[in-house]
Chains A and B, each alone.
Chain A
């Protein structure tokens, strides 16, 4: 059993009052404690954005990298040592905008990493510009006359990219979110958890009230996460219903060997456990004779 205080830092989070990030932080810490993941065996990788601070507020190992590059760093860490619990934390701009390429390939790759996207449908840290998940027509600082493009459908994208665990949570329901994060961490393979959250400072469209009227627990409503096509449909339900209904829960879950499982190089020992002091090059160099 891990005490939640063992995962807590001296620094107090510095987000705006009412920010959804507080809820995500609590959910992740709770999930880690509930699963008994000890602080030294966890690596939290964050990007740049308001959520980038996450790695500082969870007392584990952490890596706060570049804007959009959460997943490559997390991939490097996991490949080096699969005994670590590796959790990626990023924003919607970070993960679905500048870093989108890495998401698609991480889904295909299926390393055992949990990726939690703080989806507030806006760029928070840079004071309110449009995000790839902003709804069409939304007025932001960089789109004062309204967004022209359609928003990205991250869950549909992940499902079609062969992700093995695809879920969506909401910061207004911490208990449900904690459970989702636990499932995602326990899942063997790449797990995407898209977390809908409010941004009280910059997003005046997707308010707590807006979410309250639309969000429902799809699993309670009978969705079977093993049905890929149905999961895909569900992932588009928000747009298809003109945002009348926004489902949360586990959309899709399946088992597939992870990228690491298919590497004989690390079958017997993690890369960090290999002896590098005595590499014998005689055979390799002899190939050049």
Chain B
């Protein structure tokens, strides 16, 4: 059983917040939800939409269609009427909007609810139209009102009785209006509350932030940049709960260097940014690598190059992240596919960074970072903390003039790492090539041995990397290869394909670099490979070609700012399999312009 609710209107009317609230009504009563928002890079004006997918089973991605469109203005109807499924509906304010000049799709039911006047009668304002609409929707779904009422009390608790009352009255007004004026049982969707489980609703960024806190994060340094900023906000909100020092620094260069300084001093630190900020951080990645200081960074990709489209999604920074900073050195790149993975991989990132004393990058994107998904709390696992060869106890004092062999050659390439304050560990962490005792050098043999020492870490490291996840039948005619945020989208497409009798499976990579050894075997055993990515040049496909020696029979790419939708992957995978298509760039031809100039001006 599944239901998709979409609300659209002008920015600044609490559209995104209402998606979360609506989702929570259901995740608190035994359902799963995924909340996906689209918005332009503006605070006011412009078009915003939020789409809530409610389901019995876990959901991690939006669909192209919706079952009920709540239109807060006429533009929302014009823009989205073709997404409404058969017998779906449009809920709108008939007093405010006239739809008679639009040729609406057939079989769409119109629910005219006087959103504004109900809000006003309740003592509220125009901003509460979405609350009225939420109440009305619940009535259409035959859902008891009480759950929304409870939530409103909770959410507005700090704003006082009056605000709570007004909101409840507004929601109830919408609820009653449907009961009184429509026959809700004719609406083809209906839900019943189920027993509650401990299920949370969180964004990818919240999962990254929470994962970091679980991993013992003590210092978080960052400079705001969409869509990474909400990690900063999340950790800052919890800075007292978990005694974390959170610093909004003067710039990204300061953020990453501060994180490196804190890590050198022995605490778990982290920074996060998006492409532009990451560009400023690149020099310091090499600093972490050469000084062998653990570094954990999260990069939430948005549409580039340059400022690009700040609030839209893309996976086009992969090659940049894989190659950022001068010189040859070992790094790890992880790309979580959903919030559980975001929570766990972030913890893992800290372990890998400390065990191997290397930079570790968590690569997300606007789609994962800002979409909200439900997950059961008992599925958000704690990973045991591993700190590697950190020395936190005093040693024998060094002889005069002697330095600790911080960069000692070892079997696994990892050297003991005493932190400042420890007797007997005095050394320099340095950005120059160095001797074992950390003094800088240009001695050729030492240079070569040091490069080899650092590279040797990979032998142990690969044992900590997980192979890609296989979804679908093992003996498929086609294998879709994807990475990071596109896991649930491609997996759902695989399910749709197999339901339609097409034998397709998928490999999803969350351990991107180094390539897990088993991955190459898995790729090579596939009959035909098709790469599915959210960029224009199939960056991951190119990377696999280079490092795994595989060829792709086709590609399904999208780079218009949206994630791919499962329906699109389904459709194009079939066409590729039938030899009718090879390399596809997907985008909506009747693209809605979310930017205000168009909206207001025309």
Interface residues of A in 236-289 (CB under 8 A from B): 263-266, 271-272, 274, 276-277, 279, 281, 283-286, 288-289
Residues in A with CB closer than 8 Å to B430 are 55-56, 62-64
**Residue numbers in A under 8 Å from B260 (CB-CB):** 65, 73, 76
The verdict on A75 contacting chain B, using a C-beta distance below 8 Å, is yes
- B266 within 8 Å of A by Cβ? yes
Residue of A nearest to B239 (CB): A265
Q: In whole angstroms, how far apart are the Cα atoms of A286 and B201 in the complex? A: 10
Closest CB in chain A relative to B280 CB, distance in Å = 11
- Does A186 reach chain B (CB closer than 8 Å)? no
Residues of B near A81 (CB, < 8 A) are 265-267, 419-421
Contact B251 A60 (CB under 8 A): no
Q: How far is the CB of B284 from chain A (nearest CB, A)?
A: 6
What does the 1/0 interface line of A49-69 toward B look like (CB < 8 Å)?
000010110011111111001
Whether A105 is near chain B, meaning CB under 8 Å from some CB there, is: yes
List A residues 68-85 near B (Cβ within 8 Å): 69, 71-77, 79-81, 83-84
Contact A72–B265 (Cβ < 8 Å): no
**Cβ-based interface call for A1 (8 A):** no
Mark contacts of B245-284 with chain A using CB atoms, 8 A cut-off: 1 yes-contact digit, 0 otherwise.
1010111011111111111111111000000000000011
Max chain B Cβ within 10 angstroms of own Cβ: one of A6, A43, A60, A105 = A43
Q: Does A173 contact B (CB under 8 A)?
A: no
Q: Are A64 and B428 in contact (CB under 8 A)?
A: yes
Q: Is the pair A288, B216 in contact by a Cβ cutoff of 8 Å? A: no
Give Cα A5–Cα B399 distance, bound, in whole angstroms: 10
User: A191 interface residue, CB < 8 Å from B?
Assistant: no
Chain A residues whose C-beta falls within 8 Å of the C-beta of B258 in the assembled complex: 72-73, 75-76, 79
Residue numbers in B under 8 Å from A104 (CB-CB):
250
Residues of B185-201 at the interface with A, using a CB-CB cut-off of 8 Å, are 198-201
Q: Is the CB of A105 within 8 A of B403?
A: no
Name B397's closest neighbour in chain A (CB-CB).
A40
Verify if A45 is at the interface (C-beta below 8 Å from B): yes
**Which chain B residue lies CB-closest to A59?**
B426
A201 within 8 A of B: no
Q: Take A40-B421, A76-B269, A84-B265 as given contacts and tell me if A59 and B259 are in contact as well, using a CB distance cutoff of 8 Å.
A: no
Q: Quick one: which of A105, A264, A276 contacts B268, CB cutoff 8 A?
A: A276
State the CA gap A277–B255 with chains docked (Å): 25
**Which among A7-15, A25-33, A115-123, A227-235 touches the partner chain?**
A7-15
Q: Are A289 and B28 in contact (CB-based, < 8 A)?
A: yes
Q: Are B216 and A276 in contact (CB under 8 A)?
A: yes
B window 354-397: CB within 8 A of A: 377, 380, 382, 385, 392
In the complex, what residues of B have CB within 8 A of residue A9's CB? Answer: 401, 403, 439
On chain A, the residues within 8 Å of B400 by CB distance are: 5-6, 8
Cβ-based interface call for A178 (8 A) = no
Min CB–CB distance A281 → chain B (angstroms):
5
Residues of B contacting A84 in the complex (Cβ-Cβ under 8 angstroms): 265, 420-421
Q: Is residue A176 within 8 Å, beta carbon to beta carbon, of the partner chain?
A: no
* B554: Cβ under 8 A from any A Cβ: no
Residues of A within 8 A of B428 (CB): 55-56, 61-64
The answer to whether A159 has its CB under 8 Å from any CB of chain B is no
B242 contacts across to A, CB distance below 8 A: 279, 284
Whether a CB of chain A sits under 8 angstroms from the CB of B432 is yes
Q: B245 contacts which chain A residues (CB < 8 A)? A: 79, 263, 265-266, 271
Quick check: is B153 within 8 A (CB to CB) of the other chain?
Answer: no
CB atoms of B426 and A61 under 8 A apart: yes
The answer to whether B426 touches A39, judged by C-beta atoms less than 8 angstroms apart, is yes
Contact A272 B421 (CB under 8 A): yes
Contact B423 A40 (CB under 8 A): yes
> Is B262 within 8 A of A102, CB to CB?
no
List 22 A–B pairs whose Cβ atoms lie within 8 Å, in order of A's numbering: A8-B400, A8-B401, A9-B401, A10-B403, A40-B422, A40-B425, A41-B421, A59-B426, A60-B426, A64-B430, A64-B440, A65-B287, A69-B284, A76-B263, A77-B262, A81-B267, A81-B421, A83-B421, A271-B267, A277-B216, A281-B213, A286-B198
Closest 7 CB pairs of A and B: A76-B261, A276-B216, A288-B200, A80-B265, A72-B257, A62-B428, A73-B261
Binding site for A on B (CB under 8 A): 27-28, 198-202, 206, 210, 213-216, 218-219, 221, 238-245, 247, 249-251, 253-269, 283-284, 287, 291, 377, 380, 382, 385, 392, 398, 400-403, 419-432, 438-440
What residues of chain A have their CB less than 8 Å away from a CB belonging to chain B? Answer: 5-6, 8-11, 39-43, 45, 48, 53, 55-56, 59-66, 69, 71-77, 79-81, 83-84, 101-102, 104-105, 263-266, 271-272, 274, 276-277, 279, 281, 283-286, 288-289
What 6 new A-B contacts, CB under 8 Å, besides A9-B439, A45-B261?
A5-B400, A56-B430, A62-B428, A277-B385, A281-B214, A284-B238
